[in-house]
Chain A
Amino acid sequence: MTIDERQDQIIEDFALFDDWMDKYEYIIQLGKELPIIDEKYKTEENIIKGCQSKVWLHADYEGGKLIFTADSDAIITKGLVSMVVQVLSGQTPQDIVKANLYFMNEIGLQNHLSPTRSNGLLAMLKQIKLYALAYQTQTMNAS
């Protein structure tokens, strides 16, 4: 699936829920299902700055694609992180760099997120794009 197809899938999933309780329940569920980052990557340098709760993000480069794993000490944050990972993990650096992430707005979550949470999420997206950019540059230099 492309990045946009995955975003549309999440938007569709969220359309099923009317009230915030259900949305949150779903996010919490996603948080619980998130493939956990390897303990050895839970380092100071893998912590995303700008999150009030802690988020660890790790990137692996396999067969031309970037694989992200992540974790958070707060479960709602973890759910949000999980969605971002679902959308962006397993994609090429090129696609990640040019990705336009609209699903957050579409599922109406942006309005519900506290500024500290949105900032944390933006910080995470920025970090992911930085990884992608680094690998894109690397592969371009190699070719």
Chain B
Amino acid sequence: MPANLSLETSIQLDIQKIRADFPILQTQVYGKPLVYLDNAATTQKPKLVLDAIQDYYTQYNSNVHRGVHFLSQKATAAYEDARKKVTAFINAKHAHEVIFTRGTTDGINLVASSFGRKFLEKGDSIVISAIEHHSNIVPWQMICEERGASIKVIPVNEKGELVLDTLDELLDDKVKLVAVTYISNTLGTINPVKEIVARAHQQNIPVLVDAAQAAPHLPLDVQDLDVDFMAFSAHKMYGPTGFGALYGKEEWLNQIPPYQGGGDMIKSVSFKKTTYNELPLKFEAGTPSIAEGIAFGAAIDYINSIGLPNIQEAESQLYAYAVDALSTIEELRFIGEAHNRAASISFLVGDAHPFDIGEILDKQGIAVRTGHHCTEPIMQYFNIPGTVRASIAIYNTTEEIDKLVTGIKKAVTLLS
């Protein structure tokens, strides 16, 4: 990555050139050019990533970490190379602090299960926030129920910002871990993760960050943030589905037990005793998704080729453009107006059901998300059935935002 390009440097990315890297962006929906604004759900894939998958299966398909033969060594090298790319991408101290998972949800479940079994006792609690995705709620509820522990929630204000005044109060000596999202998938709120980590660490409480929405949009530096665990998914970063990474500080990963048994996670097995493998393999049971892992590496290469600071700048300009453009629609109200926002914009139009708006946009070739976005608690807080969510990626353009605005206006006419 280019050394900290300052945000003031106005770099004009050639978005048309970037768009050409994504074959699917040339497709049409109902005879109209696809306007894909559902990137918080999953991003489209550049040719580089698609080729990586194809090359693996056509040129060196083989299992990893075991074979002595040529193909297996080549596959292992490529797979482990991806781990090095992820390590550098998040500035982890060691490659063995990067555990490959099936995605963010899998990573959070790993920590909830392993950390919970080791450290959670009756009467303990886990602190999460009111704007978490279900993936960062349910795994904690499950382990808390099992261990007799409970969940405490950092509240949110009407703008969709966390009310951190209450944090120190929440962080008593029964709290064993704090788990928060970096960027809200629903509201776009960017949480002050570094501050949350610092305040939790004052009480010696570790912090897990759900970086699913942050990883494609913000430069991540686990050492600077000083997070203890961080989970993210390849498919939201222009990579394949079913793959992701969990970062954990070595000291924590060494202390917590394996998550699942079998395959790569053992050192030796007898019927009396099994010794577990070293990090990271201790947490990687079974044959992994090899092609996806290698393609994840390619996705990171792709992001690096543009540069995350450049992506961040281009996207924040587009985000501001979108907020301005959507504000021209009289009937529209934003759900979530945090001062610090990125990537996702949620809104409602008049008293129209989000589903109706989404369906009429779809017929115009515009893909947005509707519903509760797997964040039901925040919908309950705002007392709404769901929102319409437009979420951007590096290949989106101001013209597409204009089409969204026109599309919404059309929906308003049709529905009124």
Chain A contact residues, CB within 8 Å of chain B: 20-21, 24-25, 28, 52-54, 73-77, 112, 114, 117
Binds A, one of B15-23, B132-140, B181-189, B348-356: B348-356
Interface string of B333-357 (1 = CB under 8 A from A): 0000000000000000000110110
The listed residue (B359, B385, B414) touching A25 by CB distance below 8 A is B414
- Known contacts: A28-B414, A73-B385. The answer to whether A20 contacts B356 by CB under 8 A is no
Residue of B nearest to A20 (CB): B363
- Within 8 Å by CB of A77, from B355, B360, B415, lies B355
Across the two chains, which residue of chain A brings its CB closest to B352?
A75
Report the bound CA distance from A21 to B362 in whole Å.
12
Shortest Cβ gap from B257 to chain A (Å): 39
User: Using an 8 Å CB-CB cutoff, how does the interface string of B362-392 with A read, 1 for contact, 0 for none?
Assistant: 1100000011000000000000010000000
Question: Is the beta-carbon distance between B30 and A53 smaller than 8 angstroms?
Answer: no
Chain A residue at minimal CB-CB distance from B386: A52
Is there an interface contact between A76 and B355, defined as CB atoms closer than 8 Å? Answer: yes
A28 in contact with B355 (CB, 8 Å): no
Q: Residue among A54, A74, A77 with the most chain B CB within 10 A?
A: A74
Do A74 and B363 touch (CB < 8 A)?
Answer: no
B363: contacting residue among A24, A75, A77, CB under 8 A:
A24
CA of A19 to CA of B356 in the docked complex: distance in angstroms?
18
Give A54 to B352 CA distance when docked, in angstroms: 13
Residues of B within 8 A of A76 (CB): 355-356, 359-360
By a CB distance below 8 angstroms, the chain B residues around A74 are 353, 355-356
The answer to whether A114 and B359 touch (CB under 8 A), given A73-B353, A75-B415, is yes
Partner of B360, one of A24, A52, A53, A54: A24
Residues of B within 8 A of A (CB): 30, 352-353, 355-356, 359-360, 362-363, 370-371, 385, 414-415
Chain B residues within 8 Å of A20, by CB: 30, 363
Q: Which A residues are in CB contact (< 8 Å) with B362?
A: 114
- Give complex CA distance A112, B353 in Å: 18
Chain A residues in 8 Å Cβ range of B371 = 52
CB distance from A15 to the nearest CB of B (A): 19
Q: Is the CB of B414 within 8 A of A24?
A: yes
A138 to B58, CA, bound (A): 63
A133 to chain B, nearest CB (A): 30
**Which residues of chain A have C-beta atoms less than 8 A from B414's C-beta?**
21, 24-25, 28
Listed A/B pairs (12) with beta-carbon separation below 8 Å: A21-B414, A24-B359, A24-B414, A53-B385, A73-B353, A74-B353, A74-B355, A74-B356, A75-B353, A76-B355, A76-B356, A77-B355
> In the docked arrangement, what's the CA distance between A20 and B414, Å?
12
Known A74-B355, A76-B355; judge A28-B30 contact (CB<8 A). Answer: no
Residue of B nearest to A113 (CB): B359
Write out the residue numbers on chain A whose beta carbons fall within 8 Å of the beta carbon of B415: 28, 75
- CB-CB nearest in chain B for A77: B355
A112 to B359, CA, bound (A): 9
Docked CA distance A24–B385 (Å):
22
Q: Tell me which residues across on chain A come within 8 A of B360, comparing CB atoms.
A: 24, 76
Taking the nearest CB of chain A, how far is it from the CB of B364, in angstroms? 9
- Which of A24, A25, A76, A112 counts the most B-chain CB atoms under 10 A from its CB? A76
CA distance A126 to B70 in the complex (A): 57
Identify which of B353, B355, B360 gathers the most chain A CB atoms within 10 Å of its CB: B355
- Residues of chain A within 8 A (CB-CB) of B352 are 75
Residues of B near A75 (CB, < 8 A) are: 352-353, 356, 415
Which residues of B have CB within 8 Å of A77?
353, 355-356
Minimum distance in angstroms from B350 CB to a CB of chain A: 11
Contact partners of B359 in chain A: CB under 8 A = 24, 76, 114, 117
Contact B363 A52 (CB under 8 A): no
**Residue contact B356 to A112, C-beta cutoff 8 Å:** no
Cβ of B355: which chain A residues have Cβ within 8 Å of it?
52-53, 74, 76-77
